[in-house]
Amino acid sequence: MAKVVVSGGAGFLGSHVVDELLARGDEVVCVDNLVTGRVDNIAHLDDNPAFRFLEHDVCDPVPLDENVDAVMHLASPASPSDFGRIPVEILRVGSLGTENMLSIAKANDARFFLASTSEVYGDPLVHPQPESYWGNVNPIGPRGVYDEAKRFAEAMTMAYHRNHGVDVRIVRIFNTYGPRMRPEDGRVVSNFITQALKGEPLTVYGDGSQTRSFCYVDDQVAGHLALLDGDHLGPINIGNDGEFSMLELAEVVIKATNSDSEIGFMPLPQDDPARRRPDLTEAHSKLSWKPTITLAEGVSKTAEYFASVLGL
């Protein structure tokens, strides 16, 4: 049993991490300013004595009056549709927010866990992407605010590890989806499913040949806990190595929702990575972790969730 601070715990992924920690008997303090998170994601925990919610921006020092064993830093907007809307907030939470959370870990001699991203690889020139690849990022492009914030966060995490002796873990998360994403989140899986459920055209950007590798949230969270509990520092890729074009994803979504939606093509955003797939060799060998849920299964579960919250 441990006490864990989770930043971003009212968000999509963070709220699932919180649920898993509580389920195994840990106590959780969730710190979130709700910029992209929702109290609905944690409302079921209201009466749980092992859970506490602190509405707070982690760019400011976090007022914690208790000792903790682990700090999990998941706070950060993550949808490309937020990159142009709140770019400075994204840079701040990746830099100031990361240092504030690291300072809690240092003061408590606690383990620190950073939610990094496959976006540190940018528009990758190596495929699939192993952790040893340094990436291909445009620092001044619209995605730079997120990519560079996360690259900075990794660098800051390793500096606290090397120079302040903090015990750290870094996960590089590949596109993850599932219940509790916001229907209006802007990411491709939530967009396609809500569009398919409403019978609207699926907005495929560009010609739809770009690829991504989509991981269901339960698999992702299992990877996080394996990393948190184990001895391997990372960075480590956690994702599903099934690779799909956006046209293939659209087909999967249309089938899973039994929709008669058509495809509507839209312009490709600037610097949109052409392809992305995790090399999972390290995840297998260091964490004995691998994904178990197929895209078709995961999309069906996620569509059930969206249908229920949207009343469709």
Confirm or reject binding of residue 240 to ligand NAD (CB under 6 A). no
Nearest to 72 by CA among 38, 122, 22, 119: 22
Nearest to 125 by CA among 273, 238, 282: 273
- Per partner kind, with CB cut-offs from 5 to 8 A, the member of ligand UDP, ligand NAD, none near residue 32 is ligand NAD
CA distance 203 to 190: 11
By CB under 6 A, what part of segment 158-177 binds ligand UDP? 175
Structure tokens at 290: 């691998």
Checking phi first, is residue 25 left (phi over 0); if not, alpha (psi -120 to 50) or beta? left
- Per partner kind, with CB cut-offs from 5 to 8 A, the member of ligand UDP, ligand NAD, none near residue 131 is none
Confirm or reject binding of residue 33 to ligand NAD (CB under 6 A). yes
Contact assessment for residue 59 and residue 93, using Cβ atoms and an 8 Å cutoff: yes
User: Mask 198-237, x = binds ligand NAD (CB under 6 A)?
Assistant: ----------------------------------------
CA distance 71 to 36: 20
Contact assessment for residue 120 and residue 172, using Cβ atoms and an 8 Å cutoff: yes
- Per partner kind, with CB cut-offs from 5 to 8 A, the member of ligand NAD, ligand UDP, none near residue 203 is ligand UDP
Confirm or reject binding of residue 302 to ligand NAD (CB under 6 A). no
Burial class (CB in 10 A: 0-12, 13-18, 19+), 305: middle
User: Which lies closer to ligand NAD via its Cβ, residue 86 or residue 307?
Assistant: 86
Confirm or reject binding of residue 261 to ligand NAD (CB under 6 A). no
User: Mask 97-116, x = binds ligand NAD (CB under 6 A)?
Assistant: x-----------------x-
CA contacts within 13 A on the Cβ side of 246: 24
User: Mask 58-77, x = binds ligand UDP (CB under 6 A)?
Assistant: --------------------
Catalytic residue list: 146
User: Mask 115-144, x = binds ligand NAD (CB under 6 A)?
Assistant: x-x---------------------------
Task: Give me the least distance between CB of 150 and ligand NAD, in Å please.
Answer: 7
Confirm or reject binding of residue 187 to ligand UDP (CB under 6 A). yes
Task: Give me the least distance between CB of 65 and ligand UDP, in Å please.
Answer: 37
* Count of positions on this chain that bind ligand UDP (CB under 6 A): 13
Q: What element of type H or E holds 202?
A: strand 202-205
Return the ∠ at Cα 93 (arms to 80 and 101), rounded to 5°.
135
DSSP SS3 for 74: coil
Helix/strand/coil percentages in the chain, nearest 5: 40, 20, 40
Among 205, 245, 294, 307, binds ligand UDP (CB under 6 A): 205
Nearest to 160 by CA among 202, 212, 115, 107: 107
Contact assessment for residue 17 and residue 113, using Cβ atoms and an 8 Å cutoff: no
- Per partner kind, with CB cut-offs from 5 to 8 A, the member of ligand UDP, ligand NAD, none near residue 212 is ligand UDP
Among 4, 5, 6, 13, binds ligand NAD (CB under 6 A): 13
User: Which lies closer to ligand UDP via its Cβ, residue 113 or residue 192?
Assistant: 192
Interface residues with ligand UDP (CB under 6 A) are 80, 175, 187-188, 191, 203-205, 210, 212, 246, 269, 272
